Amino acid sequence: IMMEKVADVCRDRCVDCQVSMETPMACGIGICFSCVARVKQPEGDWDYKRTCVEGPIFDAEKIVW
């Protein structure tokens, strides 16, 4: 919740914000998909991204909180 609020404050002030997502990582190499975060896609929907492979740093505007 705290990172979401920080992202809101940054968005309201037109400040770029990146967040480091902390998720459980069972394997650490992307095979098990236990570490996924929901990330917005350009088409308007969202997809799961693995924080251990494609993260853990994401643009805060792209996270589906």
Summarised one tens digit per residue, pLDDT across range 25-63 is 999 999 999 999 999 999 999 999 999 999 999 999 999
pLDDT at 62: 97
Tokens of residue 1, six digits: 């919740």
Q: pTM score > 0.75 for this model?
A: yes
Judge residue 14's burial from the number of C-beta atoms within 10 Å of its C-beta, 0-12 exposed, 13-18 middle, 19 or more buried.
exposed
pLDDT category of residue 1 using cuts at 50, 70 and 90: confident
Please give the tally of structural domains in the chain: 1
For residue 9, is pLDDT > 90? yes
Range of the domain at 51: 2-62
Interval 16-24 mean pLDDT? 95
